[in-house]
Structure 1
Amino acid sequence: MRVDKYLWCVRYYKTRNMVTEACKKNHITVNGQVAKPSKEVFPTDKITFRKDQITQIITVLDIPDNRVGAKLVDIYRKDETPAEVFQHLELLKLSKEHYRKHGEGRPTKKDRRDLDGISFDSEEEETDN
């Protein structure tokens, strides 16, 4: 089975076109060699690909006939990605949410005044000393 079809079948990419684009950008390797979308994949092959700032490593256990359900994916692949990589991704998400929570939009006038009040309070304390 082709590597683009395999990664689509085991639900790592939403469309085969997305896998093809990743192959063209050299984000996918099979057994250490850069893979074209038409590269054939066999059981025991190691596929390494970069997606969402994570380099994932999977081993092909079996070839599916068609796209499989999310619960059946583990039959066809073994995920060998280290756990530290996913922890690093969680830290990146937390660092992005530090300033404003997702979905709050632009700061309001009240938010701006609160921010100005914080900076003025710290300057006043410095001048009092």
Structure 2
Amino acid sequence: MADKEKLRIDKYLWAIRVFKTRTLATEACKAGRVKLNGQNIKPSYEVKIGEVYHVSKGIERKQIRVTGLSFNRTDAKTAVTFYEDITPEEDTFKFKSSFHAPALSRDRGTGRPTKKDRREIDDLLDNEQEKRGFWENEED
């Protein structure tokens, strides 16, 4: 029963549905995308209730406080009861706003863009990336 009380961080992140597979959770830990108090943690680290983990998944960054231990993967409604998402609102909105960027599209049959069109497209993309803060220093 003592072994049942221990839970690895990779299995926990998989069980609460942060990552789709346990392998992805393990690779994220090994790559340094899961942190505790600013320090990278190994996939075998034991989860403790009350700890806050910083998880980077693509451009999404989350802060998760452990409220319970889930040893098996459950449905999403149940999984939410085992953690508290304490990500600051400005980080949450920054992530969501990147999906509302204007989409570039060209009508079918118009051919390739001219050199002038290409420059305008590049300028538009550069301006959008600067607005979203892509050129700032990141944690990774």
- Answer yes or no: is the 8 Å Cα contact 1:9–1:66 preserved in 2: yes
Answering whether residue 117 of structure 2 is matched by residue 72 of structure 1, we say no
Does 2:50 match 1:44?
A: yes
CA separation in 2, counterparts of 1:14 and 1:54? Answer: 15
Write the distance in 1 (CA, Å) between the matches of 2:92 and 2:58: 11
Question: Out of 31, 51, 54, which is 1:25 matched to?
Answer: 31
TM-score with structure 2 setting the length: 0.69
**TM-score where L is the length of structure 1:** 0.74
Aligned match of 1:123: none
Q: Which moved more, 1:72-81 or 1:30-39?
A: 30-39
What do you get for the CA RMSD once the two structures are aligned? 2.2
- Which whole-Å deviations, capped at 9, do the CAs of 1:4-47 have from their partners, x for residues lacking one? 00000000000011011111110101243211100111101111
Q: Residues 1-129 of structure 1: matches in 2 within 5 Å?
A: 1-95=7-101, 97-100=102-105, 107-109=107-109, 111-112=110-111
Which structure has the bigger radius of gyration?
1
* Matched letter for residue 41 of structure 2: A
Query: Which consecutive aligned stretches of 4+ in structure 1 deviate over 6 angstroms post-superposition?
Result: none
Rounded Cα–Cα distance in structure 2 between residues aligned with 1:41 and 1:56: 17
Aligned position for 1:126? none
Does structure 1 conserve the Cα–Cα contact (< 8 Å) formed by 2:12 and 2:71? no
Percent identical: 33
Q: Within 1, Cα distance between the matches of 2:92 and 2:29?
A: 23
Aligned with 2:63: secondary structure? Answer: strand
Q: What are the superposed Cα offsets for residues 68-115 of structure 1, whole Å, 9 maximum, x if unpaired?
A: 2100122110100122222212321222x4213xxxxx7521x449x8
Partners of 1:57 and 1:73 lie apart in 2 by: 16
Runs of 5+ in structure 1 lacking a partner?
A: 101-105, 120-129
